[in-house]
Amino acid sequence: MKVCVVGAGAIGATIGARLAASGHDVCLVARGAHLEAIRSKGLRFVDHVAEQSGTYRLLASADPVDFGAQDYVFLTVKAHQLPEILLRCTALVGSQTVVVPAINGLPWWYFYAVGGRWEGTHLTTLDPQGQMLSILPGACILGCVVHLAAEQRAPGEVHCTAGRRLILGEPNNSDSKRLHSVASHLRAAGFVAECSCDIRREIWIKLIGNLSFNPVAALTGYRMDQICADEQLLDVIRAVLTEGTTVAARYGVDVAMTPEERIAIARQLGAARISMLQDLENGRSLELAPIVGAALELAQRSGVQMPITQTVYALIRARARALALPLA
């Protein structure tokens, strides 16, 4: 299969390297020093989970237009970067292309094919201009929720440190041929790829974890294992998890998971330095809009109060401003 990974950072490079190792024709969209290192020396992928470490010589560019139509496109850029790159990604999309947004937070396509009163709802925190679904039609999208940890430790060097689980699902919750095809290829590449008939529930399970753990990690500098060992911090985590679960219920999603059960999932990542902490330490903009801002916008629209989440949001925004980081 021809596969393009748009955003060959930690998660994207993990997906790209493993698919390349299993025999697919993979190209990467990256930028800056990371792109130059991949071009000159190849992608150095260190796999602490599976046995696919190596240096991968893959085509790489800063512009998706360079590659033409693909069979699969994995969008693994930060969610707040999508509006600016999505138009160029249309060059990768043919009549049969499957686009898999493997991103943190609430995805911009969430209210596509959801049915009911919320069908077509537009969130300004995710899509400020309200154009993303007109640029990339929802029919080509396959939902994806990522449960693994990876780090970009140097230009051209990515380490996968924990997990290998990817959950896939159609926006309309159908049991499609393409769903099982993508899952099959990912399994062959070393992932635990699951097919879901309720992808929005899986999105919320991941989202409430990101909503709680990511800002706390960025504020404290703690790894995941350190957060999970601190009972006072876990009280904050539990409160935000509860608030997020309440918002999900207002939109018809029963997370059906207690805070302790969600914390148990987080414990599986061990000593991972989760994404918002990595971004803060590397001077990059934080994924606040798709993770925290979107949840707060949904809460406001549905009349749910999220006081603890609001407090954490104010603190992490202040931390970002103090470090002169862009707010996204």
pLDDT in 10s for each residue of the chain, 328 residues: 999 999 999 999 999 999 999 999 999 999 999 999 999 999 999 999 988 899 999 999 999 999 999 999 999 998 878 888 999 999 999 999 999 999 999 999 999 999 999 999 999 999 988 899 999 999 999 999 999 999 999 999 999 999 999 999 999 999 999 999 999 999 999 999 999 999 999 999 999 999 999 999 999 999 999 999 999 999 999 999 999 999 999 999 999 999 999 999 999 999 999 999 999 999 999 999 999 999 999 999 999 999 999 999 999 999 999 999 987 6
* CB-based burial label for 213 (10 Å; 0-12, 13-18, 19+): buried
Q: Do domains 2-197 and 201-322 have the same CATH topology?
A: no
Has 206 been annotated as catalytic? yes
Annotated catalytic residue, options 2, 41, 78, 206 = 206
**CATH topology for the 201-322 domain:** N-(1-d-carboxylethyl)-l-norvaline Dehydrogenase; domain 2 (1.10.1040)
Residue 170's SS3 state is coil
Q: Residue 236 to residues 152, 233, 270, 303, 308: CA-CA distances in angstroms?
A: 29, 5, 19, 22, 8
Q: Is 33 exposed, middle or buried (0-12, 13-18, 19+ CB in 10 A)?
A: exposed
Give me the residue spans of the domains in the chain: 2-197, 201-322
Look at domain 2-197 and name its CATH class: alpha beta
Nearest Cα to 265, choosing from 204, 203, 205, 175? 205
